[in-house]
Amino acid sequence: MSAYQSLSLFLVVLAAFTAPIFSKFIKIPIVTMEILIGIALGPTLLNIVSHSPFMHFLAEFGFFLLMFYVGLEIEIKEISAKLITLNLTAFAVNVVMSIVIIKIFHLNFELIAVFVAASVGVVVGVLKELKIINEKIGKLTLYSGIIQEFIILIIATSYEIYKGEGYSILKYAEIMISIVMTIIFFKTVKVLHWWYPEHFKYFTTSKDPLSLRIRFALTIMLLSVSFAFYFHIDPVVGAFIAGFIISLSFSNTIMIKKDIETIGLGFFIPLFFVYTGINTKIIIQDIPFVMFVVLLMFFSHIGSVIIFYFNKFSLSESLISSFNLSKGVSMIVLLMTIAKAENIVNQKMFSLSVLIGITAEIFYTVLFKNGYRLLKKGQSLPPT
């Protein structure tokens, strides 16, 4: 590694470290700040970062951890059949509306990923800031974000499987058998844990002097990534499947989540978002178009109103609550990173999509927070 590359790595690490400080000061989401700092370091402004294989590896490992963590966040047992049905309906409406918008305004079809994207990363932060994460509206927003995020990832996973193996029933069967066998393995471990708790105490308590829990989690993630390579699936999808299987197999994944949060959200995942910003080239002339698309994104998420309205919120409450699901920069980055790797989108579309995601994240977060506060002053929202 050259001296310039070493300096570049230092700047990227420093950016990941300082992003939360700037985020708190400016009061914008941390993920957005990480990408913005990356944009400032990249060709859009300063252009002082030299790429290196090691930096690329760190960023890609952060991407794996992000997908793994998303899989861990999905807790099927806490999501009702009614909520799943409402979200499937809402997502279908959102897709139809997105296609209509793209057709009417003659937009690139690849922007459908921008229109339907929803992610829970910033949603959680907003709900915690307003202290409503444990209230009815908070739980409904959180679980709806998780379900819609899951739907998008399942579609992405299915596409990757199809792309790699076509309509090979044998390969689909192999993948399903692998997943089922893995779940059976975890269930067996769960039974052994019940019979011999002293041998598994490190998995459910904060005490883990040998770091067995984090070794277990990363082993499963990397094995799943290896299987993804074998099945010709994008490895980040393999990381997501690993997290989802662990969440599906164990009733208590709190400590594993905390471990992944510590090493992932604490270092590697921020590096990925900073690196994404560095690879994003912003063109000033695109800004009016970006603002136009951001405004259209509300209509592409109009289906989300259904979720809140049919859970006994008023129409005004449902409209304002849907603002919190009308964004998802981390999901946009995720989808566009996969699409770019598969040559589905070019660098210009990638950069444009990331800029749209950043702008939407800030715009709709502000709209939701202020709209919710106005509603709270005027009337009481349904209790927990």
Domains in the chain, number: 1
The pLDDT-based confidence of 121 (bands split at 50, 70, 90) is low
Residue 206 lies in a domain: yes
Q: Is 277:39 a contact under the CB 8 Å cutoff?
A: yes
Structure confidence at residue 90 (pLDDT) = 92
Residue 287 lies in a domain: no
Asked if pLDDT for residue 292 goes beyond 90, the answer is: yes
Task: Provide mean pLDDT across the span 183-205.
Answer: 66
Asked if pLDDT for residue 296 goes beyond 90, the answer is: yes
Residue 260 lies in a domain: yes
Residue 34 lies in a domain: no
Residue 173 lies in a domain: yes
Kindly state the greatest CA–CA separation across the chain: 65
Q: For the CA atoms of the chain, what is the radius of gyration?
A: 21
Residue 281 lies in a domain: no
The pLDDT-based confidence of 307 (bands split at 50, 70, 90) is very high
The one-letter amino acid at 321: S
Question: Which residues, other chains included, contact 88 with Cβ-Cβ below 8 Å and sequence gap of 6+?
Answer: 151
Question: How long is the chain?
Answer: 384
What is the residue range of 369's domain?
59-267+294-378
Distance of CA 376 to the CA centre of its chain: 29
What percent of the chain has a predicted confidence (pLDDT) above 70? 84
For residues 334 and 264, what is the distance between their CA atoms, to the nearest angstrom? 16
Residue 357 lies in a domain: yes
The model carries a pTM of 0.73
Per-residue model confidence as pLDDT tens digits over 313-345? 888 889 888 888 877 777 888 788 878 877 888
Q: What is the DSSP string of 13-38?
A: HHHHHHHHHHHHHHTS-HHHHHHHHH
Around Cβ 352, how many Cβ atoms within 10 Å?
A: 25
Residue 301 lies in a domain: yes
